[in-house]
Amino acid sequence: MQNTIQVIGLKKSYRDLHVLKGVDLEVARGSIFALLGSNGAGKTTVVKILTTLLQQDSGTATVNGFDVVLQPSQVRQSISLTGQFAAVDDILTGRENIVMIARLRHIKHPHQVADDLLRRLGLTAAANRRAATYSGGMRRRLDIAMSLVGESPVIFLDEPTTGLDPEARIEVWNIIKELAASGTTVFLTTQYLEEAEQLANQIAILHEAGLS
């Protein structure tokens, strides 16, 4: 069976800083993959390449069977991304944030989709409050809810639990486990070995970027 994500010999430098020096990885369908690394190790760089936001210098990467460089629009249709920094709009309520994304993605019945996701992520009670009033854990859950609009087969989560308290972290872990159990392939990054061990079927470690 073909892997959902396949990366071979990925290299990326920013001028003299060699961030990725030949990364190989494979992620099976419906599994959770954790990319572990400290600040500056290159986690976001890998996520950006796999989500077509940045082009590698060499090597190949396919996501859902599509090449990230040659078939970027097919890749984008296969994925959703929760970036390292929340995409939540503070002025809008939780529900309005999700409805907005559903409309942008031309999803039918945006209000129904929003209510379903708010329930799944435990945000129903806070649905009509402005996101500005949410706690860190609530914002993160809203951010994840927004990236679940449209039910993509592959989801990328860049440090989904950084800055969360232990309780909120466990809530996010449960959401991630449910996603994988329902067949979604999850690619996440983390700075915490414990988190990778708790969640992932497979772990890869990125070491710090080096100058030459």
Ligand X SMILES: Nc1ncnc2c1ncn2[C@@H]1O[C@H](COP(=O)(O)OP(=O)(O)OP(=O)(O)O)[C@@H](O)[C@H]1O
| Chain residues in the site for ligand X (CB under 6 A) | 14, 17, 19, 37, 39-45, 84, 191, 209
C-beta of 7 vs 209, nearer to Mg ion:
209
The Cα 188–Cα 34 span in angstroms is 5
Other CB atoms within 10 A of residue 131 CB: 21
Least distance CB 41 / Mg ion (angstroms) = 8
Q: Which residue number, 47 or 99, has a Cβ lying nearer to ligand X?
A: 47
| For ligand X, the closer CB: 46 or 142 | 46
Q: Is residue 44 involved in binding Mg ion (CB under 5 A)? A: yes
Whole-angstrom Cα distance, residue 47 to residue 83? 9
* Min separation Cβ 128 and ligand X, Å: 33
If DSSP states are collapsed to H, E and C, what string results for 94-123? HHHHHHHHHHHCCCCCHHHHHHHHHHHCCC
Nearest approach, Cβ of residue 49 and ligand X (Å): 10
Binding pattern for the stretch 14-43 against Mg ion, x by CB under 5 A and - elsewhere: -----------------------------x
CB 33 within 8 A of CB 201: yes
19 binds, among Mg ion, ligand X, none (CB under 5 to 8 A by kind): ligand X
**Is beta strand 185-190 parallel, antiparallel or unpaired with respect to 202-205?**
unpaired
Cβ at position 190, least distance to Mg ion in Å: 10
Closer Cβ to Mg ion, 84 or 202, answer by number: 84
CB nearer to ligand X: pick between 118 and 204? 204
Do 171 and 144 touch, CB atoms closer than 8 A?
no
Closer residue to ligand X (CB): 10 or 41: 41
Least Å from the CB of residue 84 to Mg ion: 5
Among residues 46, 78, 44, 53, the alpha carbon closest in space to that of 63 is found at 78
Q: How far is CA 5 from CA 18, 62, 145, 154, 192, in A?
A: 23, 6, 22, 9, 22
In angstroms, what is the minimal distance from the CB of 55 to Mg ion? 18
Listed in sequence order, the residues at least 6 apart from 25 whose beta carbon sits closer than 8 Å to its beta carbon are 5, 6, 7, 33, 35, 204
Site for Mg ion in 153-212 (CB under 5 A): none
Binding site for Mg ion (CB under 5 A): 43-44, 84
